[in-house]
Amino acid sequence: MNSITALSHLSDPERCPLLVVKLGSSLLVNSDGALRRDWLAGLVAELAVLHRAGQRIVIVSSGAIALGAARLGLPQRGRASLPDAQAAASVGQVELAGLYADVLGAQGLVAAQILLTLEDMEDRRRYLNASATLERLLDLGAVPVVNENDSVATEEIRFGDNDRLAARVAQASGADAVLLFSDVDGLYDRPPHQDGAVLVPQVDIIDHTVRSAAGPPQEGPGTGGMASKLAAAEIATRAGIVLAIANGTHDRPLSRVFEQNIGTMFIAQNGPGARKNWLGGRLAKAGTVRVDGGCHAALARGASVLAAGIIAVEGEFARGDFVGIADEQGAEIALGLIEYDAATCRSLMGKRQDAQADILGYAPRSAVIHRDHMVML
């Protein structure tokens, strides 16, 4: 149950143990292609305070194309053609990674780079892989810095904007909230340059009125704009994650959001219906694992399904499939994405974690169904 109902809650490690912060190209790279290093260092100093207070942080950062375009001397900030953007991203990503290693390192934090494609997030097997890597990095105290793998993502298989990527990364990492930094204060009730435009502090439901306030998607190969932020808000809130939009153009932008409460917050939809939707969509269940009473009680307290608690495996399924979780009597209690195929589940059933490596021949995953990929009914 997401308990974040105010922007200040985003800095509370109890309510928001894991925060995803997305930074767009225009915040990181000047119009002449120069890095805004001091601005980033200021923001990272603020993030370091949160990290020291026990909050986990994931950064989703754009900027590779804009930086690479400046280095290669490409027109239109590298967006004149897809091959330009791909080449620019290859060059710019090196610089971006170095920048994060420096500024996070200066705060005693370890930067970890992850480049993802749309397919990594849409294919459920690959989604689980990316998710496991994020979890391990966060457990180790690192700060993952994520961008789209623009050099290999072609037009049809691109996110194209890091807003939606940030929402998907929030799901995959089990985040509680996403903060999208923009060059405006948030969503306005009409285009912000129009007279009388008023900032909308909170959106409970994304309906027709909200969509028309955001306006049409941005034209051309450039990305971002309010429409893609709204699409990101839909993905996040449906998955039970809060999404906030705030102005990143100020120095130390986090304090402005947390202390002055300026931004737009999209409230998370809670309840099993919402989470079930994004987990499995309309997919049919491929099978069921039945668990013992101890495991059932642990699940109710928010734990994952471990092999030791499984007493039966029904059906045939592959890694990443959507399965039911039933109690000893066969009543369905939860749904989730399974980490192993059916045959492997049968061989691991009832086994404790330390006995699993011998059976598998490799280190076992942390759970058979991870709590982040599960919904209780």
Q: Contact positions toward ligand GLU, by CB under 6 A?
A: 24-25, 62-66, 89, 147-148, 150, 161-162, 223-224
Q: Tell me the closest approach of the beta carbon of residue 66 to ligand GLU, in angstroms.
A: 6
Taking the C-alpha atoms of residue 93 and residue 150, their distance in angstroms, rounded to an integer, is: 9
31 vs 329 by CB, closer to ligand GLU: 31
- Six token digits for residue 369: 């169904």
**Strand ranges of the sheet holding 264-266, from the earlier edge strand across to the other edge:** 111-116, 143-148, 56-61, 18-23, 177-182, 242-247, 264-266, 202-203
70 vs 241 by CB, closer to ligand GLU: 70
Opening angle at CA 69, ends 64 and 75, nearest 5: 140
Taking the C-alpha atoms of residue 156 and residue 305, their distance in angstroms, rounded to an integer, is: 36
224 vs 240 by CB, closer to ligand GLU: 224
Beta strands in the chain (DSSP E): 18-23, 56-61, 111-116, 143-148, 177-182, 202-203, 242-247, 264-266, 288-291, 310-314, 322-326, 332-337, 374-376
Q: Tell me the closest approach of the beta carbon of residue 168 to ligand GLU, in angstroms.
A: 13
Do the beta carbons of residue 50 and residue 14 sit within 8 Å? no
Q: Tell me the closest approach of the beta carbon of residue 116 to ligand GLU, in angstroms.
A: 10
Q: Tell me the closest approach of the beta carbon of residue 368 to ligand GLU, in angstroms.
A: 34
The residue among 242, 266, 271 whose CA lies nearest residue 11 is: 242
- Six token digits for residue 140: 């180790």
121 vs 338 by CB, closer to ligand GLU: 121
Taking the C-alpha atoms of residue 296 and residue 328, their distance in angstroms, rounded to an integer, is: 9
174 vs 224 by CB, closer to ligand GLU: 224
162 vs 356 by CB, closer to ligand GLU: 162
How many CB atoms within 10 Å of residue 44?
A: 24
95 vs 341 by CB, closer to ligand GLU: 95
Do the beta carbons of residue 210 and residue 187 sit within 8 Å? yes
218 vs 353 by CB, closer to ligand GLU: 218
How many CB atoms within 10 Å of residue 93?
A: 23
Q: Tell me the closest approach of the beta carbon of residue 247 to ligand GLU, in angstroms.
A: 17
235 vs 286 by CB, closer to ligand GLU: 235
Q: Tell me the closest approach of the beta carbon of residue 26 to ligand GLU, in angstroms.
A: 9
Q: Tell me the closest approach of the beta carbon of residue 18 to ligand GLU, in angstroms.
A: 21
Q: Tell me the closest approach of the beta carbon of residue 322 to ligand GLU, in angstroms.
A: 30
Q: Tell me the closest approach of the beta carbon of residue 80 to ligand GLU, in angstroms.
A: 14
Do the beta carbons of residue 169 and residue 118 sit within 8 Å? no
Burial code (b: 16+ CB inside 10 Å, e: under 16) for 240-254 equals: bbbbbbbbbebeebb
Taking the C-alpha atoms of residue 331 and residue 145, their distance in angstroms, rounded to an integer, is: 41
Taking the C-alpha atoms of residue 57 and residue 65, their distance in angstroms, rounded to an integer, is: 24
13 vs 215 by CB, closer to ligand GLU: 215
Taking the C-alpha atoms of residue 103 and residue 23, their distance in angstroms, rounded to an integer, is: 14
